[in-house]
Structure 1
Amino acid sequence: MIQPIRRGAYRFYARRLRAQLAGKSLPRHVAMVMDGNRRWARQVGFDDPGVGHRYGAEHVHEVLGWCADMGIHHVTLFVASVDNMRKRASEEVENLMRMIEEVVAEPLLRPANPWQLHLAGRADVLPDSTRHALKIAEDATRERGAEFHLTVAIGYDGREEIVSAVRSLLEQEARAGATLDDVAQRLTAETLAAHLYTGGQPDPDLVIRTSGERRMSGFLLWQAAYSELYFCDVYWPGFRKIDFLRALRSYSARSRRFGA
């Protein structure tokens, strides 16, 4: 009897949160640091904490559904940093990459899936199979004319992204015959931003990090300069719709200053 009561109370609270957001300013672009998969697995009693990666990967599509339902058209997910790829145990990295291939990339190929995939990060640090699966999904969804855009940050480091953008800009200018002085005179934030992994996409309005950690970990260092930040104590696989709606409620109550 207790479980039905709890489910009913949960649904009532979710509807109440949703009603509070009616007519409020909501983010156009939400970025998420999906943290705490292994800690969640240990918390719920799994012998293998790596099982949390599967639950976390499966949870991605549910959260994307919440975003679409709320009219959020751009979502960026931080899946793995360059340091994650280099420093975590090889078995854990292999498990995570397999989950990305099977649970994240493959469902995006389904015709009914509305999301167009974009990639952000260094493809050279990914296993061949993961790089191939993500590339297939990116190519297959490119011509969708989708109104919903999903960016997966994998093999990603915010400082490396800025360095790469500077290098790309200088190489482009050199091919055009420009001197360093020419580049320096014309350089603006907008021209450099066009060379980021996310060039052409809007910056995130809201960044959500799960697991209780209060740091960015190198995520979207340039793009999130004026983003609102929301830190949630629950681990990613346990991130509920009411947690998501609370984050949106917090965002809607803030007065954005954009650096002022």
Structure 2
Amino acid sequence: MPEADRHFRTDAPDATNGVGEGKNGRNIKRRDNMSYKEQLDLDRIPAHVAIIMDGNGRWAKQRGRERSYGHQAGAETVHVIAEEAARLGVKYLTLYTFSTENWGRPAEEVTALMGLLFDSIEEETFMKNNIRFRVIGDTEKLPDYVQDRLNACIDHTDCNSGMTLVLALSYSSRWEIAEAGKQLAQAVKEGEVKVEDIDSHVFAQYLATNFMPDPDLLIRTGGELRLSNYLLWQCAYSELYFCDTYWPDFREEEFCKALCDFQRRERRFGKTSEQIG
């Protein structure tokens, strides 16, 4: 997109409250006037952060603009958060970019989103930040020109050794689990897998996410309290963080605030505090 269109004012006075300050927050506060980034323990950064990027349309509506304006602003936030996550040492960042259900939106909005996706894939940014690029989802449904752009970026960044940025495109958990089941059934039919050997670990090898660990932290912006068919299998023991901030307003300090909240939690994975202590 034109450079002039890629900068948006995110400190508008009518914007929603920051992360953790609204109805869904945990009231995480700064300590001794330190920023949230300064509070972070860089040795305890979550390896895998997944984000449901919600609120673009409502952000645009607040400003009397079309939904496409919100999506453009949200695309800018993707670049900001991806670069910040890479700097902080996050190993995997997975973004819910376009769901299978989103195909049911008005045709003009879907077309605009596909064009925005094409324009937003900046290989130069990935190379500069040593970011490896991957995609999960039913990508065969995407327009050919988008598929070509995605595949080229995947190939060109494959040797990068920093953070892996994963876009969930034309994705839903139910689709993914159904596809994994079909592949596993075929493997059993062909004698590659025995039925008695199938467990959760074997099944997970057939998921689209088999190249990365499960998310440690799932963030959802925009004030909604649901997972929206996103990484349902993988988030069995993920820490969930909901905030009222719309995605275009979610910047570096908001992201660090979510990480601070994560670092203050005790992850038990079904065990007691005494067992993990």
For Structure 1 versus Structure 2, the TM-score category normalised by the shorter chain is 0.7 to 0.9
Q: Which one has more relative contact order, counting CA pairs under 8 Å at least 6 apart?
A: 2
Q: Measure the CA separation in 2 of the matches of 1:235 and 1:133.
A: 28
CA RMSD for the aligned pairs? 2.1
Partner of 1:251: 262
Counterpart position of 1:95: 112
Write the mapping of 1:161-176 to structure 2, written as runs, cut at 5 A.
161-175=176-190
Pairwise CA distance, 1:100: 1.0
- Checking the alignment, whether the CA contact within 8 Å between 1:114 and 1:147 is kept in structure 2 is yes
C-alpha distance in 2 between matches for 1:130 and 1:109: 18
Q: Contact 1:17 / 1:246 at 8 angstroms: preserved in 2?
A: yes
Show the 5 A alignment for 1:1-260.
15-22=34-41, 25-46=44-65, 48-85=66-103, 87-103=104-120, 105-107=121-123, 111-142=127-158, 144-175=159-190, 177=191, 183-260=194-271
Q: Is the 8 A contact 1:108 1:141 kept in 2?
A: no
The letter for the 2-side match of 1:135 is N
Aligned CA distance change for structure 1 residues 62 and 189 (closer, same or farther; 3 Å): same
Q: What is the TM-score with the length of structure 2 in the denominator? A: 0.81
Deviation at 1:136, TM superposition (A): 1.4
The CA distance in 2 between the partners of 1:183 and 1:126, in whole Å, is 35
Q: CA deviation at 1:110?
A: 5.7
Separation in structure 2 between the aligned mates of residue 130 and residue 26 of structure 1, nearest angstrom: 33
CA contact (8 A) 1:53 1:95 kept: no
| Range with greater deviation from structure 2 (207-216 or 233-242) | 233-242
Question: Partner of 2:274 in structure 1?
Answer: none
What TM-score does the superposition give when structure 1 sets the normalisation length? 0.86
- Asked if the contact 2:127–2:160 (Cα under 8 Å) also holds between the matched residues in 1, the reply is no
**In structure 2, what residue type is equivalent to 1:200?**
F
Stretches of structure 2 that go unaligned for 5 or more consecutive residues are 1-10, 12-29, 272-277
Contact 1:170 1:183 in 2 (8 A): no
Identity of aligned residues (%): 39
How far apart in 1 are the matches of 2:143 and 2:42?
Answer: 45
Q: Give aligned pairs, total.
A: 242
Structure 1 residues 11-64: Cα deviation after superposition (integer angstroms, max 9, x where no partner): xx7952222223663211100001111111111332x22111111112111101
Structure with greater helix share of residues: 1
